[in-house]
């Protein structure tokens, strides 16, 4: 028989502390859908997605019932569309509309993969796809776009940073009537992982199998609850508590991923053991840092506590799953985290501190609302700075900032749902235009003499 307190602990985590499976994401390769005719290519894509993912949502719901654990999102990631566009030519937005239609047909709430990998340069398909991103995001509901502009092995494509600065701004401009939501569906990466199940940055990398199931877990509320009342513990003991909790959370992901893969007849890819916050009160990464001992997230000490949290989550999670991948760590999306929203609103948390935090957390500057008059060059430079942190530290970094067109510091954008809401944060307006305008490639960093 089971230990009563173990059973009650599991139920408490789910009922009171927001433990859930954040997403089951099916990765689908579209390479076999490539065709020299874009119409035929789109037909094949629609057929393949609606066949492969036909039972994804219902299977997720069945598993939810069986184990009594909520599975919040069912999603799809596909091969970077720029690869197919290279073969077919034509209007890239047709691909976006096809993906959107397929997502709606199978009932998922996001489809990622309107993507291009340009860390070392552009092919014609990449250029056409990137140019179409603002239109694609404004004309579809569920399509997410991402572009990889740098890597530790190849350096940073500064031309790509410049173009993406403009693309982020235009994506917001074209969706100004919908709280600039376009920019919230666009991520600019350095060292993008090929198996990330989380949106908006999910795509199905060219090195992946034909079809695969990846699972993203969540549970900041559970970690915070485990740390509550541990006033007398030193920081080593705190790290141990986080590890133990992360282990339990990740076991849920492993269980659900294995079961989903068996039921759908698709290989199990990875568990992404990220702590992904939601705007719900209590489900916040910022609150964990505050529970460790900060007056408010953003205070000095935030980077150190976040580094400890990120590392402890990985150490606990790796033991709990046979395959770990994706982004794995702690997310710090400002608009999706009640504690971050509060810290940004009160002025305790600024973009410069968030940038420092991205050097030790799992991703990057995420879901940050910036003033509507921020220039494309400044956004490009934010991207270049963030890519530099990722490149030098051999980690994934990303930028998902939302220019609030027509709004200024102190106002806010409200996206609703899991994307939450965020105050417009102050941005340094000194111009980096000359640097960005130079173009070219920032060379890859030396991998020795590390100091």
Partner 1 sequence: MRAVITVIGKDMVGILAKVSTKCAQHNANVIEVTQSVLQDLFAMIMLVELSGLDCEFSALVDEFIKLGEEIGLSIHTMHEDIFNSMHRI
Residues that bind partner 1 (CB under 8 A): 1-4, 6-11, 15, 62, 65-69, 248, 251-252, 254-255
Q: Provide the minimum distance between the beta carbon of 216 and partner 1 in the complex, in angstroms, as a whole number.
A: 17
How many angstroms separate the CA atoms of 354 and 302, rounded? 9
**Please, which residue, 255 or 309, has the CB nearer to partner 1?**
255
For residue 444, give the DSSP letter. Answer: P
Q: Provide the minimum distance between the beta carbon of 263 and partner 1 in the complex, in angstroms, as a whole number.
A: 13
Helices (H), 174-284: 181-184, 220-227, 235-264
Q: Provide the minimum distance between the beta carbon of 395 and partner 1 in the complex, in angstroms, as a whole number.
A: 29
Neighbouring residues of 423: CB distance < 8 A, sequence distance ≥ 6: 341, 344, 345, 369, 410, 411, 412
**Please, which residue, 255 or 342, has the CB nearer to partner 1?**
255
Q: Provide the minimum distance between the beta carbon of 261 and partner 1 in the complex, in angstroms, as a whole number.
A: 15
**Please, which residue, 316 or 333, has the CB nearer to partner 1?**
316
Q: Tokens 């541990």: give the residue.
A: 230
**Please, which residue, 223 or 378, has the CB nearer to partner 1?**
223
Q: H helices then E strands: how many in the chain?
A: 16, 13
Sign of CA dihedral 304, 421, 396, 210: positive
**Please, which residue, 63 or 357, has the CB nearer to partner 1?**
63
- Check if the beta carbon of residue 335 is closer than 8 Å to that of residue 415: yes
Q: How far is CA 345 from the centre of its chain?
A: 23
Q: How far is CA 319 from the centre of its chain?
A: 23
Q: Provide the minimum distance between the beta carbon of 223 and partner 1 in the complex, in angstroms, as a whole number.
A: 15
Pairing of strands 211-217, 268-272: parallel
Q: Provide the minimum distance between the beta carbon of 320 and partner 1 in the complex, in angstroms, as a whole number.
A: 9
For the chain, the distance separating the N- and C-terminal CA atoms, rounded to the nearest angstrom, is 54
**Please, which residue, 104 or 251, has the CB nearer to partner 1?**
251
How many angstroms separate the CA atoms of 171 and 198, rounded? 20
How many angstroms separate the CA atoms of 148 and 176, rounded? 25
**Please, which residue, 128 or 255, has the CB nearer to partner 1?**
255
Q: Provide the minimum distance between the beta carbon of 39 and partner 1 in the complex, in angstroms, as a whole number.
A: 42
């Amino acid at each position: 028989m089971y230990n009563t307190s173990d059973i009650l602990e599991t139920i408490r985590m789910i009922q009171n502390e927001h433990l859930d499976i954040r997403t089951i994401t099916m990765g689908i390769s579209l390479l076999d859908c490539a065709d020299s005719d874009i119409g035929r290519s789109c037909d094949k894509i629609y057929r393949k997605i609606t066949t492969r993912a036909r039972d994804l949502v219902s299977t997720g719901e069945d598993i939810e019932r069986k184990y009594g654990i909520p599975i919040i999102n069912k999603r799809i990631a596909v091969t970077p569309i720029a690869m197919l566009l290279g073969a077919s030519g034509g209007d890239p937005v047709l691909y976006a509309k096809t993906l959107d239609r397929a997502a709606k047909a199978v009932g998922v709430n996001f489809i990622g993969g309107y993507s291009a990998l340009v860390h070392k340069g552009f092919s014609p398909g990449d250029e056409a796809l990137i140019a179409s991103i603002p239109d694609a995001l404004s004309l579809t509901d569920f399509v997410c776009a991402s572009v990889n502009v740098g890597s530790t092995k190849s350096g940073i494509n500064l031309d790509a940073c410049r173009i993406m600065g403009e693309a982020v701004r235009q994506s917001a401009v074209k969706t100004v009537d919908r709280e600039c939501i376009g920019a919230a569906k666009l991520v600019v990466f350095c060292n993008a992982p090929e198996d990330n199940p989380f949106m908006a940055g999910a795509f199905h990398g060219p090195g992946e199998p034909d079809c695969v199931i990846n699972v993203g877990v969540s549970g900041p509320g559970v970690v915070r609850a485990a740390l509550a009342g541990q006033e007398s513990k030193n920081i080593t003991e705190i790290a141990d508590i986080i590890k133990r909790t992360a282990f339990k959370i990740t076991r849920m992901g492993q269980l659900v991923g294995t079961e989903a893969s068996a039921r759908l007849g698709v290989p199990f890819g990875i568990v992404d053991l990220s702590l992904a916050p939601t705007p719900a009160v209590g489900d916040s990464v910022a609150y964990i840092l505050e529970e460790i001992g900060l007056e408010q997230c953003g205070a000095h000490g935030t980077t150190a506590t976040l580094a400890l949290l990120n590392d402890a989550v990985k150490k606990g999670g790796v033991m709990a799953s046979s395959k770990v991948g994706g982004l794995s760590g702690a997310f710090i999306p400002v608009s999706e985290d009640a504690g971050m929203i509060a810290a940004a609103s009160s002025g305790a948390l600024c973009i410069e501190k968030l940038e420092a935090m991205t050097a030790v957390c799992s991703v990057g500057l995420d879901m940050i609302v910036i003033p509507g008059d921020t220039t494309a060059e400044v956004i490009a430079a934010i991207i270049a700075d963030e890519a530099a942190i990722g490149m030098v530290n051999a980690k994934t970094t990303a930028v998902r900032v939302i220019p609030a067109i027509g709004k200024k510091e102190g106002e806010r954008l409200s996206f609703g749902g899991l994307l939450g809401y965020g105050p417009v944060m102050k941005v340094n307006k000194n111009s980096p235009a000359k640097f960005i305008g130079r173009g070219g490639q920032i060379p890859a960093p030396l991998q020795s003499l590390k100091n």
